[in-house]
Amino acid sequence: MAQPSFVPITEADQVRPTAAQPTPTWLAGRPSEQRQPKIRAGKGFGSTGPDGGFAIKLAASYADRLVLTPGEDHHDVEIGAALVASKRAARLGRAPSVYDVQVALGIFGFLSEAPSDLVEYRKGLFQAVGHAWEAQGVLVDSVPDEALLLTPDEAAASSSAWRDVLGV
């Protein structure tokens, strides 16, 4: 706020001139910094996308609709579905939605009765995925990009042709 001219102020309270600061220059020089705009992709690099934690909340909302067999843990299935849903959403350049979770659960046949060979395959992938970093990477890397582009209806119907969808 401006100071009225009739109010006396001390010299210490006067506005002081400022000196222009030079523009900072910075170059990436540490080993972990990316020096180019290209993002590495492939097995083990992950899929960076916004708000992956929301996928866990969305997957948890399907807890009462999961069709599990003995030996399958709902917590592992929810975390695994959230991971696959986050990968799908990141590949599409957005945050996870309920449709991503439906595709993730549909690909592995968790929303309906699945063939016995698919159940045996998914048991190995989802075993302890909620607590093991390595198992999470194996699960997410097992889903090809073509399968992530399915619609929720196509993913739910793919349980009979799961070997073609998952490339097994």
pLDDT tens-digit map of 117-149: 999 999 999 999 999 999 999 999 999 989 999
Q: What pLDDT, on a 0 to 100 scale, did the predictor assign at position 76?
A: 95
pTM, to two decimals: 0.74
- Amino acid identity of residue 79, one-letter, is I
Helices (H) and strands (E) in the chain, counts: 8, 0
- H/E stretch holding 86: helix 74-91
The type of residue at 100 is D
Enumerate the H helices of the chain as residue ranges: 53-60, 74-91, 98-107, 116-126, 133-141, 145-148, 152-157, 162-166
Cα–Cα dist 136/126, whole Å: 8
Residue with tokens 């097992």: 142
pLDDT exceeds cutoff 90 at 162:
no
The predicted model gives 5-21 an average pLDDT of 80
Q: How confident is the model at residue 21 (pLDDT cuts 50, 70, 90)?
A: confident
